Chains A and B, each alone.
Chain A
């Protein structure tokens, strides 16, 4: 009995070894990404920051909101527990910066997700359906392109309260236009391919074709774009925080920390430089990672 199992296994191994091993698009891309030193360094740095942001607030003996009146604006030091120093209310800057990274990354990722979901759906439907619906949907995108979006988000945030959730939505809703255009273009070139034809011949319905067959094939370009949207959203959040419209105290974000620090640059430069360095590092790394993914997934460079 055991002999037959071994026999089956052997057969499987032989088959496995003799079959030509094809590499999928994703394996291919991953291999190429691994050879891109800038992207790998960026990815590692980013991973480290994310890990630190998740772990440090858990193990630190300080929290982000309790003032320590005896320790206002102490400079960074290796002894005494406040490695990054404390802010103008005596709160530990390390913990606050890590919380800032958490919140900024979260805003960046959620807002990018919102814009990706809207953009991909809009673009894929327009490209797949085609005809007058396509031109109508793209007209809408053209018109929205001309909407001055910084003022609109400011108005939205000012008028409808300053909660984080609204900020995700507001930023996500205004930044889906590029993704919609790109996805539509890709869909147009995909929709006459044989596999779509086959799906249609097999009786698959329109919505299933769009989401089961088209969208997975657009994933590469969508991932590239999402990676590049996250840093721009993080910067935009920082911009809103600078205008006093961002995350509300005592909760913090990198944008809040940086704009608070900018006011005290002359007397306490570390209050600006440390959070600014984290902000710049995250944005820098995401941009490099996006460029690396772009090269890795772009079939033109093969």
Chain B
């Protein structure tokens, strides 16, 4: 494959369509596990919140209430971090489709001109 990079306008001329770059490969693989992690974290947060509410209502151990008070936001923020990572990876996937798709549409023209 021959390739010429044009640094001024930041595009690359190649004789065949390019594949995904490293971030796009990572995004394609990791968006779903990140989403799964988020979908697991939020219900855990709800359950821990309910346990803590029960402890508060029934006059439970102050240590348990304080500990759960730390766990609940930690789990929720893990969920938010995961879901925003999944959103970023999904956007990277879209960019990957533009990169590979744009190249593939041009490829038949290159092949046609060779014939």
Partners in one complex: no
Interface positions of A (Cβ within 8 A of B) = none
